[in-house]
Structure 1
C-alpha cells in the first residue's frame, strides 16, 4: 500500500520520478482545440445509427454514445461509490493491493509501471466480472463501501448490454449477421478499471497513463470529473470534451483484427 498515491501525504511539489521530458508528453504535440468526438444517438433509426457507428469507426475509432439505455442513477451511483472506496482508510484496502497482473480483482498504482525513470500518476481498482455468473464474481469484490457490490453489479450488467448492442449494430453495418461477435470472442470477463487520479501539484509535467491502444474488443469509458482524455488522430493529439451523460466508445485492437 505504500506505493498507492492516494494513501500518501499530499505532495507540495511533484517528485522528480513523475516528471516526463517534454517530448514524451502528448499535450506538447496536441492541437490547441478541444474536439467533440462523433456523437451517436441510439434513439435514432437503426439504419442511421449503423451508419454513424461505421463512419466514426473508420474515421477515428472513437465516438460518444447518448440515449444508450444505461440509467443515470447507475452512472451516478458508480462514480459516487468508487469515490467512497478510495476515501476508505488504508487498512480497509490493504488486502486488495497486489502487483500480480494475473489477479482478477485488486488495487494497484501506476507507479509500478516504469518507462525508464518516469512513473505514472494514477491509482486503479480493477474488478473482473464473469457473465452470466455475475453474483459469483461479486463475491471477490470489496465489501466496503457497503453498496459497492450492488452498485457495480447493476452498472456492469447495463453497460455490458450496451456494449453488446453496439457490436450488433456494427455487425449489421458490415453486412454480417448480428450475432457474429457473440460467443467466445465477446464472452470473456468484463473488466472494470476504476482510475483514480489524486490531486497533482503539476499535472502538466506528468501523465496518468501512457499513450496506448486498448487490446480488447470494445471499451466503454465513463468520463469523471478529472479531465485529460486525449485521442491520437492524424498524427496529432486531440483533447476530448465529454458530453454529459454519454459514454466514450473505443474500438479495441481485437476488433481491428476481426474486421
Structure 2
C-alpha cells in the first residue's frame, strides 16, 4: 500500500537520508527502497505532472545532471514510500524557464528543458505548483521592472491566450519564439493582439500573433530572489 506524506515522515521503518546527501543520491535510494525501475517511476510520475517525464529525465536526475523540483520530490516520495530529505522537505523551489524582454528582442526564452536549469526559492505566500519564473533582461521596463527581477506565472499546456490575460501584464511568446512582458490587448484582426509597453520609450507592438500568454502572478525584485 502506498504511504501518504505524513505516514512517511513519521514511520520508523522509513530510512532518512542524511542532510548532506545530494538529491540524486536521495533519488537512487528511493528507487532502491521501492524496487521501481527508472522507467516505472517515469511512467508513474508522468501521469501526475503537466510536463513530460520519461526514463531519460529520471536518468539525468540520478546522475545529478537535472534538478529535481520540490513538486517532483514530493511526488517521488509518495510514489516510492521513501522519506523526504530533512533539509529539502521545507524548501520549495520554482524553475526559471529563461529570460524575457520588453522593448529589446530577447530570443532566449524557454532556454532550458522543462524542469531543468536554475531554480529559485518559492517566495512566501506563493504556491510552487504549476508555477514558472522568468528573468527580466535589459532596462526597457524601468521603472516597473528592473533587469534581473523575476516574474512568476502559470503557463498551461494548451498554448492559448486565455480571456483573463486580456488587459493585464503578461508573460507571452510570439510566433518568432521571442519572450515578452507586455500588457495584452485584442488586435484589429482576428487572432492578433496589441502588446503595450510600460513606458513611453518603447512603442506598442500591433497585430502580433501569440503562441500563448499568461498573467503575471508575482513580481519578485532581484535582490530578494534566492537562486539554488
- Shorter chain as denominator, the TM-score bin is under 0.3
Structure with the larger RCO, 1 or 2 (CA within 8 Å, 6+ apart): 1
Q: TM-score, normalised by structure 1?
A: 0.25
Q: TM-score, normalised by structure 2?
A: 0.27
The structure with the largest alpha-carbon Rg is: 2
